[in-house]
Structure 1
Amino acid sequence: MVGERLIDLANAVRASADPSRAALAELLARHGEHPDDLTEQSFSEDDADRLRTAARRIAHLLTEADTDRAAHAINALLAECGARPHLSRHGGHAWHLHVDRGEDAGWADWFLASSALALAQILTEYGRVPWGECAASRCTTLYLGTGPGSARRYCSTACASRERVAAHRRRKRAAGG
């Protein structure tokens, strides 16, 4: 899923300011990119550097909690991509939607365009921003809360539980018990 890929890449550049080309290639492979497309010739250090920059831009967008500001930021990315949607089939993949500048688009262009399209679809489906940064006190992980139920505030059940337990202990201490 494009949403999972964009979250994983955004978290990768937040966790390490400069994840290696190999680490990015491995992450892309986990999300279905063909190994032949991830060799040093097809996915160079320069491509990796541009992808890191693009992923930082998406990470910044994922910290935007205001729906209107997020929508304007997504529109700006879509306008920057400047291409019409088209169906593409390559590398053994089924037909799928691309919004980049075509088969010759670089990795960063592809990532920004596909991420902007995915976030636009998610925002319109939910009518609000269902993504964000974990609300746990010592966690900065980005999440995509597209599951059922109420809006998420935490990246995982572990962070949510840890915060609930800490709040319970604070209340108990404050009550003298």
Structure 2
Amino acid sequence: MHINPYGEEPVRLALALVHDPPATVAALASRCREAGFVIDVAVRPEDLTETLAFLDDWLAVVDAPDDATRASRLNVLLQRAAAYPRLSNHAEDGWHLHYRDPDLPLAGALRALISVGTALHLSGRGMHRLGRCSAAGCARPFADLSRTGRQRYCSPACGNRDAVRRHRSLTAANRP
């Protein structure tokens, strides 16, 4: 998977894995391939467990109470995951930067990809661009990929439900 300058694809992959965690290592590998991640190492049984544990750590970045804490938590993930950047054409699909050592197991490669992608997303678009849905009864994480940077909901459906709830509440309060 090539990381665009905004880190969008790795962040989307992280959210997809958090919202609907794979049940098997084969499902994890399949979901990664569908997202455009080239797997060029043998997939190990422990890759699923390690990836799910990493995603719990990544959610701590999403849930950080302020920018400094978010940066600190993400720096820990980057320290554990990333190596010096290097040019690679491993899949013969064009030269691109890798932020990980070659032959890293799938879980380690995902850790590096998602950590660096998240850092690019936050540094390029704003440190506030990760969060939890504001709709009552929903706490799904989201990445704000909007132009304005004011996303509050995980999906349009949650935004619509919350708008209807607010409207009904106002209407009920204004009835005699």
Q: TM-score range by the shorter chain?
A: 0.7 to 0.9
Q: How many residues are matched?
A: 168
Change in CA separation of 1:133 and 1:149 when aligned onto 2, cut-off 3 Å = same
In structure 2, what is the Cα distance between the partners aligned to 1:65 and 1:96? 34
Q: Is the 8 A contact 2:67 2:127 kept in 1?
A: yes
Question: 127-136 or 60-69: which moved more?
Answer: 60-69
Q: Is the 8 A contact 1:65 1:131 kept in 2?
A: no
Tell me the CA shift for residue 95 of structure 1. Answer: 2.2
Query: Which position in structure 2 is the counterpart of 1:21?
Result: 25
Q: 1:4 aligns with which of 12, 18, 32?
A: 12
Q: 1:132 aligns to what SS in structure 2?
A: strand
TM-score, length basis structure 2: 0.83
TM-score, length basis structure 1: 0.83
Letter in structure 2 aligned against 1:149: T
Query: Which position in structure 1 is the counterpart of 2:125?
Result: 126
Query: Which position in structure 2 is the counterpart of 1:32?
Result: 36
Query: Which position in structure 2 is the counterpart of 1:95?
Result: 95
Structure 1 residue 45 corresponds to structure 2 residue 45: yes
Tell me the CA shift for residue 82 of structure 1. Answer: 5.2
Which protein, 1 or 2, shows the higher relative CO under an 8 Å CA cutoff with sep ≥ 6? Answer: 2
Q: 2:20 aligns to what SS in structure 1?
A: helix
Change in CA separation of 1:58 and 1:93 when aligned onto 2, cut-off 3 Å = farther
In structure 2, what is the Cα distance between the partners aligned to 1:47 and 1:12? 16
Letter in structure 1 aligned against 2:136: S
Change in CA separation of 1:150 and 1:51 when aligned onto 2, cut-off 3 Å = closer
In structure 2, what is the Cα distance between the partners aligned to 1:169 and 1:150? 27
Tell me the CA shift for residue 3 of structure 1. Answer: 2.1
Between the two proteins, what is the percent identity of the paired residues?
25
Q: Is the 8 A contact 1:10 1:58 kept in 2?
A: no
Letter in structure 1 aligned against 2:117: A
Q: 1:143 aligns to what SS in structure 2?
A: strand
Question: Which ranges of structure 2 fall in alignment gaps of 5 or more residues?
Answer: 1-8
Q: How does 1:1-177 map to 2 (within 5 A)?
A: 1-13=9-21, 19-34=23-38, 37=39, 42-81=42-81, 83-100=83-100, 102-176=101-175
In structure 2, what is the Cα distance between the partners aligned to 1:161 and 1:148? 19
Change in CA separation of 1:140 and 1:22 when aligned onto 2, cut-off 3 Å = farther
Query: Which position in structure 1 is the counterpart of 2:5?
Result: none
- Deviation string 1:24-69 (CA, Å, 9 cap, x unpaired) is 12211211135xx48xx82122122212211222123222252111
Tell me the CA shift for residue 72 of structure 1. Answer: 1.0
Question: 123-132 or 165-174: which moved more?
Answer: 123-132
